[in-house]
Structure 1
Amino acid sequence: MTHTPNPAHTARESKEPVIVVGAGIAGMTAAFRLQQAGHPVRVLEREDRAGGRMRTVRRRGYHMDLAAILLIENYTQMRDLVRDLDIEDTTLRTNNLVGIRRDGRVHRLRANRPTDLKRSGLLPWSSVPAMVRLQADLRKYAGRLRWNSDMGEAATLDTETAAAYAERRLDTEFRDYVVDPMSAMFFNSPPDLSVVNFLFSMPAVNSEWFNFHDRVDTLTTTLAARLDVETRAEVTQVEETSDGVRVHWRREGEPEHTEEAAAAIVALPGPVAAGLCPGLAPSTLDYLANVPYVPDIHVYFGVDRVPSEPATCVLFPQREHADLGVITFNHNFAPGRAPQGHALLTSYYRYPWAMAHWDDDDDTVEALTHEIHRQAWPEMARHIEAHQDMAYVQRWKNAVILRKPGDYARLRAFNQGLDPRSRIQLAGDYLGFSATNSSLVTGERAARRVREVVTGGAVAAGRV
């Protein structure tokens, strides 16, 4: 299925054509920025619809955002894209109340109010000095933790695990009831996670949040409607030629397609990109093939009565449950996620659990989740089971990148080794911090490099 660009948004002048492989947020941002600059752009997507991990599924009136659910106001580049698409009226400032479970109760704090951590009762007053040290570190390192960077500056901080940092700079209480549950947002645990991930995640706990009124894929569906997106188009190879690129793709029931363009942007997970671009440098292919993604299984429950929990999400330290990481209350993020009078909740696990149960069928995963709810939060388990009218299991093979100490230094070396003059440019979460806004930023960076390659001139950062 091909979506024809809206004439009101096509470029004023025709320039060199570009092919983008992958219609996630990275690929479509790249395509949109190139289209703004006058390049004819064609997006090839293997799935039957665009969006990637910024996609929403509708079931029985529930809108289930499949991956990206939490958007923060310091996603400056995403906010700029929303403005440039003229869809600011589809967004709103949202509830940013976070809960952390401890000793059988939920301690709640507002994400943009660090002082709530003291008032919530989550930590003893003896942890206040640790909190002060953390805030000082965040101010000190702010310049190295930026969404629009290639993580080169952050690599200088990548010397220890989140657990080691907590033991060195914070205290045991802080480690167990703040650092550990924050690590669960990466489906991980502090001993296996670089301190950079923890430090990078903390602005989300010191920020206002925003979202789209009804569904998070408002952004990607708007982009898809304004671009030439060919769906069900499985790309099999991207090769650089003497004066451009050649892209091979197929669709069931059709002969193989071959298209040529001035350049291509491959916006797919690292291992997939490696398989499609065998002509890249051996060191590049080796890095791409070994990007350390971890899997995720999460389970949605629609219920016909809204629970009393006011938080958008409740985090579970391992002291509360070894496997369950987060329960989100999606109806509290923004309206439109559930029918009137109903609620939508989602349970997320740390990745070892997902790996252990990856091959289980959906009914088994749902039953296991009910049992885990009974162990971790009996009152909520009873509410879900008494009022459930929908369940949905979502699996992501390449959910998020597991960054251990030293990985950001390797990422810096990888980014520095990429050829900015190549007619095949890369975009995706593995080029920066593994988050939606970072993926978007890599798409803009790839578009800028492609423009420089095909026009033979420099293009200012942040300009189209």
Structure 2
Amino acid sequence: MISKDPGHLDRRHFLKLSGAGSALALSGLAHADTAPLGQLPPPWRPTVIVVGGGIAGLGAALRLREAGHAVVLLERDAEAGGRCRSVSWHGLWAVTGAFAFLGAESNLITLARKLDAYRPEQLLDLTAAHSWNMLVNRSELIDFGAFDLAAAATHPLIPGTEKLKLLATLPPLLRQALLGDPRDITSAVALDDVNACEYFRRYSPTFVDYYLEPTMGMFCGYGEDDYSLAWTAWSFTGRMSWSGSGNSMWSYRERGAGRLTWELARYLEADPGTELRLAEPVAALHYRENGVTVELERGGTLEAQAAVVAVPGNRVAGLLPGLDEERRSFFQAIDYAGHHIFYYLLDRPKGELADTYVLPAADGFRRTGNLRFTDLGDGRTFAHSQWKDWGCRQHAGASDAELQRIAWQDVQEAVPALAGTRLIDSFVSRQPHAICKRPKGYIAALQRFRELGPLPRLAFAGDYLTNSTVGQAHWSGLSAAEALLARLGSASAPLLEA
């Protein structure tokens, strides 16, 4: 634990020395005879810098610490967690990104248990809550149940002739479910030559307009051209899919999904072998055969033996000035969908309102994708709406107040029963770069990127390498850490006991 003795300089305090002192301390980690190392026992082994404090970076940092490496984690925001965070608002916990975890993603359960954050009284089963109602023709609410591609294809809303045509599309999807690797998105590359909506529209325009487009708009903010058949088949089928057989959804009673990253950040912050630097943006990262150098935007540099780059894919090229042209081209082509979340506290009970409304672009809802209402039992209702990428881009320069005004108008347009309702309060969680887009050709490009092989002393982590669920993003961090460990080996800095 961190020493309370002011005369004793433990690693946490040693590394918090500012400016050149911190740089010297980190530089010395590769050479244990040049700088004091507080409580850390000799011999000292390589230190790793992790750039990015989302679930991928946090996961990589913990895995590296478990192998005995000292870690410095740099996060540009004032709080770690990325899109898996929660904020306290009017006595409620509002999640500002991911809403729940997939039960099949066992790596998250393993992580939660390590943090003593998987006790029954802490958990919330959200499986039933992840069913939804589609608002069709702005008038009829149709229950689509749980997230299941096959069930949706046979839904009564789909005309009979279109159903028969859709059945012809199932064999390649079933082959993907049987043969695909649930941890490797490139296992679906054979289906990467067409976008999903383009493909399914040939057989059933109704399926695309009233299931696929609005569903992907709800989950990801995607437009029709933002996801390939390959990504759709890989995401919808198999053991790790959103609609996997018996798959469950879970979260936390307190803090919601954001509790997991909050607990992990607290754990790393207390660990004497980790320095967690928040509000510390990185200007550039330089890599070489025997180490890395990180330039900080606020001035100064850090030296280490290796680094994990765990930032969104569209930010990677800007951080690595020495990147070769092939890798740079891959990163520069990555795009993210916006997915703003708006929160409302309504001065009325939920009453006749449905729990959920999913809004199709085919009926004019290009901007707002879905609504959810929760009765608080005291005459008030907690609600939220989410925007699709199209809306986020259309209003990229708007103020928070203007965004909230437009969003509330959309909510009332979709649910006229809210006309005249007093809005007690609202706020917006801006998510201009929320979910990596995976249009046709993306997975093939990712496969070519992987075939280039690893860079010296550098590993990458993030949703763009896999899927955008919390569990898959976390897995990418574990994979990046393992890739470095294969080159660096283990070290001797003890991990704080949970």
- Pairing of 1:200-211 with structure 2 (within 5 A): 200-202=234-236, 203-206=241-244, 207-211=247-251
Amino acid at match of 2:381: A
Specify the alignment match of 1:461 in structure 2: none
1:49 positional shift? 1.3
Task: Mark the CA change 1:389 to 1:3 in structure 2 (over 3 Å): closer, same or farther.
Answer: farther
Paired residue for 1:344, among 379, 382, 401? 382
Specify the alignment match of 1:106 in structure 2: 141
Amino acid at match of 2:457: R
SS of 2:265's partner is helix
1:156 positional shift? 1.3
Task: Mark the CA change 1:198 to 1:116 in structure 2 (over 3 Å): closer, same or farther.
Answer: closer
Specify the alignment match of 1:365 in structure 2: 403
1:393 positional shift? 1.6
Question: Where in structure 1 are there 5+ consecutive unaligned residues?
Answer: 333-337, 458-464
- Pairing of 1:310-389 with structure 2 (within 5 A): 313-329=356-372, 331=374, 342-379=380-417, 381-382=418-419, 386-389=421-424
- Pairing of 1:262-301 with structure 2 (within 5 A): 262-301=305-344
**Contact 1:102/1:122 (<8 A) preserved:** no
Larger Rg over CA atoms: 2
Paired residue for 1:232, among 279, 283, 306? 279
Paired residue for 1:219, among 260, 273, 278? 260
Give distance in 2, aligned partners of 1:374 and 1:435. Answer: 30
SS of 1:190's partner is coil
Amino acid at match of 2:480: A
Amino acid at match of 1:223: L
Q: What TM-score, normalized by structure 2, do the two folds share?
A: 0.78
Paired residue for 1:189, among 223, 231, 242? 223
Percent of pairs with identical residues: 24
Give distance in 1, aligned partners of 2:462 and 2:115. Answer: 21
Task: Mark the CA change 1:91 to 1:317 in structure 2 (over 3 Å): closer, same or farther.
Answer: same
Residues 304-355 of structure 1, C-alpha deviation per residue, up to 9 Å, x if partnerless? 44424787643212233331443242759xxxxx796643322222222211
**Contact 2:349/2:378 (<8 A) preserved:** no
Give distance in 2, aligned partners of 1:13 and 1:110. Answer: 58
Give distance in 1, aligned partners of 2:257 and 2:63. Answer: 20
Amino acid at match of 2:113: R
**Contact 1:17/1:40 (<8 A) preserved:** yes
Amino acid at match of 2:261: T
Task: Mark the CA change 1:211 to 1:16 in structure 2 (over 3 Å): closer, same or farther.
Answer: same
How many matched pairs? 437
Task: Mark the CA change 1:96 to 1:356 in structure 2 (over 3 Å): closer, same or farther.
Answer: closer
- Pairing of 1:57-456 with structure 2 (within 5 A): 57-89=87-119, 90-94=122-126, 95-103=129-137, 104-111=139-146, 117=152, 121-124=156-159, 128-129=163-164, 137-143=172-178, 146-149=181-184, 151-168=185-202, 170-184=203-217, 185-202=219-236, 203-206=241-244, 207-214=247-254, 215-227=256-268, 228=274, 229-251=276-298, 256-308=299-351, 313-329=356-372, 331=374, 342-379=380-417, 381-382=418-419, 386-419=421-454, 422-455=456-489
Q: Which moved more, 1:242-251 or 1:283-292?
A: 242-251
**Contact 2:368/2:410 (<8 A) preserved:** no
Residues 411-459 of structure 1, C-alpha deviation per residue, up to 9 Å, x if partnerless? 111122241x5201111112122333222121111000110111299xx
Give distance in 1, aligned partners of 2:220 and 2:136. Answer: 20
1:31 positional shift? 0.4
Give distance in 1, aligned partners of 2:148 and 2:41. Answer: 44
SS of 2:50's partner is strand
Give distance in 1, aligned partners of 2:242 and 2:42. Answer: 39
1:59 positional shift? 2.2
Give distance in 2, aligned partners of 1:16 and 1:77. Answer: 26
1:123 positional shift? 3.6
Specify the alignment match of 1:460 in structure 2: none
**Contact 1:266/1:424 (<8 A) preserved:** yes
Task: Mark the CA change 1:364 to 1:259 in structure 2 (over 3 Å): closer, same or farther.
Answer: closer
SS of 2:186's partner is coil
Task: Mark the CA change 1:145 to 1:182 in structure 2 (over 3 Å): closer, same or farther.
Answer: farther
**Contact 1:267/1:428 (<8 A) preserved:** yes
Residues 210-265 of structure 1, C-alpha deviation per residue, up to 9 Å, x if partnerless? 112222111111111121311122222222244222222254xxxx3322222111
Q: What TM-score, normalized by structure 1, do the two folds share?
A: 0.84
Asked if 1:21 corresponds to 2:51, the answer is yes
Residues 118-172 of structure 1, C-alpha deviation per residue, up to 9 Å, x if partnerless? 99754455555466556655432115655521x221211112121232134x423
SS of 2:357's partner is strand
1:376 positional shift? 2.3
Amino acid at match of 1:93: D
**Contact 2:223/2:390 (<8 A) preserved:** no
Q: Which moved more, 1:321-330 or 1:227-236?
A: 321-330
Task: Mark the CA change 1:331 to 1:83 in structure 2 (over 3 Å): closer, same or farther.
Answer: farther
Task: Mark the CA change 1:143 to 1:225 in structure 2 (over 3 Å): closer, same or farther.
Answer: farther
Task: Mark the CA change 1:434 to 1:196 in structure 2 (over 3 Å): closer, same or farther.
Answer: farther
Amino acid at match of 2:314: P
